[in-house]
Structure 1
Amino acid sequence: MKNLVGAFVLSLFMLSIGNAQDIQGPRFGKGILNITGKDSTWSMNFTTRFQLLGSATWQENEIGNTDFNSNFSVRRARLKFKGFVFTKKLTYKLEIGLANQDIDGASYYTDYTDKFIQDAYVQWNFYKNLSLRGGQAKLPGNIERIISSGSLQFVDRSLLNAEFNIGRDIGLQLLNEHYLTPTFLIREQFAFSQGDGRNVSIGNMGGYQYTGRIELLPLGAFKNNNEMKGSALEREDHPKLMVSVAYDYNDDSVKTQSNRGDFMELEDGLYQTDISTLFADVVFKYKGISFLAEYANRSADDPIAIDEQNIPTGDVVQTGSAFNVQGGYLFDSNWEVSGRFTNLNFDEVVQSTMEEQQYTIGVSKYIVGHNLKLQTDISYATFADQKDTVMARLQLELQF
């Protein structure tokens, strides 16, 4: 698979070089190639992006000294292809991840093939504002997960997202939007999916996953879908608000975090339990001010995995709740200062010391919006069952 991806990218590069005198690329941030068929029956926009991350952590050890660790990495590296086929009402998206943290490991459940594919779906706008999406995509869960990792307000998403989001899955999604009044916009999204996470190819392990999300925008639509981006780069002329609720039910889930986490393996199969996750979030933006708050709660019928002899296997569903609030102010110079507070409260079956908190202060310079930006943040965290931790990060984002 790596060879195939490399060969494809090399082919695109050689094509662009071979026709360098004939092809004029789009404006920076609008993709590397924009191609439309001569008969206008298809199009393709090819984009690439990557993040270069440097991080350092300080943590007190058992003997009272401070352990220091540093790391430099390519946090994300993505290739994106999108466009339409046959009609502009039939669109598609393919996104491939190449960085180590994009790929995840191969396993029996993925046919021992690395997880390169992030998104791979087609979407059909079949009636007015109704669209049907089929394939692998993000499920309509918490707002932080829906926001692209390339459009975040901080170096990365919060601990709430790390522990409670429901990620990507393969299946069908129905999307709709309509106005209740001339300014009151409502959007709905419903998903039916396999329930085992992205790129799982060895059948359906448990039951199916059902997800629904409703978004209320009483003050009208944000500029250019600004609610789905970090910061306030669009500088709304009037206050804009979005209030949303999402609910996910994973029937006979076999993973510790619904469709994410570890498979709960038994000697003769997989442990299964019903898992429910509730999300609520608020987004507010006005001029240079941005505010986001979200809540998550996960529960399971039988969170402790047991074998046929009723002996715990060691796998436990990560149940509990979390709250995250963040905001920032964007100056006219496109420098932004931001702050975030995240609180995790796990159920006692997960761990005896239940509460975890993290405080973060960030500074960002948006050179060309989210397409070229430099972000840094520093966090102080009190984690369960370990010493307090200080983490500092610096990241460069580049998107063509």
Structure 2
Amino acid sequence: MQRMASPVSLLIRSYSSFGLSGVGLGLLLCCLSLFHSTDAISAEAGRLVEKDGRYVFVESMDPAMKLLLERAVKQGTITQEEYDGVVRASQERAYLLQPSFRAWYDRGFNLSMNDNAFFLKIRARFATRYTQRYRNDAYRESGDSKNFPELLGVFGDYRANRSIDQSSTFNLRIARLYFMGHLFSPDFRYYIQLAGETAENAQSPGALSVLDMNVTSTHLPWMNVQVGQYKVYFNRSQINSTASMQFASRALVMDAFTASGINRRDVGLTIMNDEEVYPINYYLGVFNGVGPLVNRFAQFNSEEATVGCPGGATGGNPFPSPAGCPTNTRNLNANLRTNVNELMYVARLQANLMGRPGYGEGDLAYSESPQMAVGGGYAYNPSIDTSSNNAFVGIDLANLHVRRSLAALGNGRMLGQGVVDFSTWTLDYVFKYRGFSLQGEYWYRNVTRHNKGLPCMQTAVVGGPCTVFSPQEFGNSTGWTVQSGYYLIPRKVEVAARYAWWDPDTRSGGDLIKQVDVSLNWFLSGTYDHQIMLTYSNIAMGQDGFAIGRSAPLPAVGATFPSGTVPLDSRAGTLIENAVRIQYQIFF
């Protein structure tokens, strides 16, 4: 078989046809020698490349050589067949020499395999914040022991959240690392988010933790499946990211009405359809119901070794103990929350009436056509132990995580109510058009106590009949918020305002929480990736109503007051806070 001429030999023939001899041909060889030795030219230039488990000899060729060969075809120096062979060889060479992956930067560091079987995007986001806060005298004199109480020590004893009249603080409010992409095919996605920030009022250093870690199958557009740890699809403010908000912080009511009442995130499974394909979207999920990085064993009801007798000290749990049960015994024999009917179940339905407004709060895209959506959700989170022992607050030690989580989100009035079931409903609306945005949300939570009737506060003797009851039962909770914004300069400068209203206990009066926020936002790059926020907030928090373990009458057995003898809810008037927050965020 006749061997095809190499590109180098063809090129030499081409130059010879142009009358280049002697010096001209010598100059050509000198230029080629910059890339190949003379021996390599005579033996065909190239190199061995390992590809697909075998070594292949790849010849060298550059665009200048190709141009000269094309001219040589026109001059008749080489044949078309020879030229076609060289082109095919060049194409194969390009394939063999290319790396098996591609790396580039585009709103994150990207790495992709050539066959698209693997893709990784790495991003980072941080937001540093300065807060100037002013509080009235009521915060120092009485503080808040009902909505946001502090739970101290291993027993979780209550302490009122008091503070001085003003404070000036810097904090790293957001510190995130993101790893996202797909495995095997673009229809099998993964998402990991790590956080190392500190909350604005935190008294301890932040630590790196896993916020999100999940995979999603999108093979069936009408039934995507997501499993792992992630934000529960319940309402707009729960799904929305802090990266695309109109204010430096969410309203307090938004934190309180998450699906679980404990955290935005949870561990579980969700099936849903593709938001980009269908105008009506559904979400059906089942979760542990106790927050991220926690399994269901963190939630239980204490029991004595004696069958039928509750666990606890100073009379038992609930209080008082049934007749014939041992007293003053604490143990961790537990009725774990492991039944399938004690999982948290969540459903959401959203209709995109106009366009696709998404979950970002403002109209940064400056939509040229109206964008509107309405949605609703329901969440059922049963068997939450809020501390079912009224005489000794810290009896269920492992439940301290749940109790602290409830208090951190402002649901502290529910503590001490025993085992409860949460049923939460939500409705939301959003409209966006040419820089204008309007959205609102409404929530209602029904709280069902397993122990019916008024909670017992005091008895004359251990195991005796109740002598003092709580003055009232805990009711339900409800709230709503509405916010609007407008871009004074499209994609650059936005003003926004928000009003939030919250009734944490519908059977108490004088306990309303009202919040007003105004924000001026500057987007330096025309995206959420680089922005400065200036947000002013005013919060008025009512302090009336009854809270177990903090309001009189306090739990007691005879003259013994395990939780203290002085109520924490001395009322110095409505708690008022005015705060200015300046926040700088960069997302890269």
- Give TM-score scaled by structure 1 length: 0.79
Cα distance in 1 for partners of 2:284, 2:481 equals 24
- Residue aligned with 1:231, SS: coil
- Residue aligned with 1:301, SS: strand
Cα distance in 1 for partners of 2:241, 2:178 equals 12
Cα distance in 2 for partners of 1:259, 1:189 equals 29
* Higher deviation after alignment, 303-312 or 245-254: 303-312
Q: 1:195·1:258 contact (CA, 8 Å) conserved in 2?
A: no
Q: 2:418·2:451 contact (CA, 8 Å) conserved in 1?
A: no
- Residue aligned with 2:234, SS: coil
- In structure 2, which of residues 349, 355, 377 is the aligned counterpart of residue 214 of structure 1? 349
How far did residue 318 of structure 1 move? 9.1
Equivalent runs, 1:102-117 vs 2, <5 Å = 116-117=209-210
- In structure 2, which of residues 537, 540, 549 is the aligned counterpart of residue 379 of structure 1? 537
How far did residue 259 of structure 1 move? 11
Q: Specify the code of the residue in structure 2 equivalent to 1:228.
A: Y
- In structure 2, which of residues 552, 569, 576 is the aligned counterpart of residue 388 of structure 1? 576
* Rg larger in structure: 2
Q: Which runs of 5+ in 2 are unaligned?
A: 1-100, 142-163, 300-336, 388-401, 412-416, 457-461, 544-573
2:421 corresponds in structure 1 to 274
Distance 1:397 1:196, change over 3 A: same
Q: Specify the code of the residue in structure 2 equivalent to 1:248.
A: A
Give yes or no for the alignment of 1:237 onto 2:368: yes
Q: 1 or 2, which has the higher strand percentage? A: 1
Q: 1 or 2, which has the higher helix percentage? A: 2
Q: Specify the code of the residue in structure 2 equivalent to 1:372.
A: H
Q: Which runs of 5+ in 1 are unaligned?
A: 1-21, 107-112, 265-269
Distance 1:317 1:51, change over 3 A: farther
How far did residue 202 of structure 1 move? 6.0
1:250 corresponds in structure 2 to 381
Cα distance in 1 for partners of 2:239, 2:267 equals 16
Q: 2:221·2:274 contact (CA, 8 Å) conserved in 1?
A: no
2:21 corresponds in structure 1 to none
How far did residue 230 of structure 1 move? 2.0
- Residue aligned with 1:391, SS: strand
- In structure 1, which of residues 354, 358, 362 is the aligned counterpart of residue 519 of structure 2? 362
- Give TM-score scaled by structure 2 length: 0.55
RMSD between superposed Cα atoms in Å = 3.5
Q: Percent identity?
A: 21
- Residue aligned with 1:100, SS: coil
Q: 1:44·1:81 contact (CA, 8 Å) conserved in 2?
A: yes
How far did residue 354 of structure 1 move? 1.8
- In structure 2, which of residues 262, 266, 273 is the aligned counterpart of residue 169 of structure 1? 266
- In structure 2, which of residues 408, 430, 444 is the aligned counterpart of residue 283 of structure 1? 430
Q: Specify the code of the residue in structure 2 equivalent to 1:195.
A: G
- In structure 2, which of residues 170, 173, 179 is the aligned counterpart of residue 75 of structure 1? 173
Distance 1:317 1:169, change over 3 A: farther
Cα distance in 2 for partners of 1:100, 1:255 equals 26
- Residue aligned with 2:365, SS: coil
Cα distance in 2 for partners of 1:84, 1:123 equals 9
How far did residue 312 of structure 1 move? 9.1
- In structure 2, which of residues 250, 258, 273 is the aligned counterpart of residue 157 of structure 1? 250
Distance 1:25 1:42, change over 3 A: closer
Cα distance in 2 for partners of 1:239, 1:136 equals 34
2:131 corresponds in structure 1 to 55
1:126 corresponds in structure 2 to 219
Q: 2:418·2:450 contact (CA, 8 Å) conserved in 1?
A: no
Cα distance in 2 for partners of 1:99, 1:190 equals 31
1:12 corresponds in structure 2 to none
Distance 1:303 1:243, change over 3 A: farther
Q: 2:532·2:582 contact (CA, 8 Å) conserved in 1?
A: yes
Q: Specify the code of the residue in structure 2 equivalent to 1:141.
A: F
2:406 corresponds in structure 1 to 261
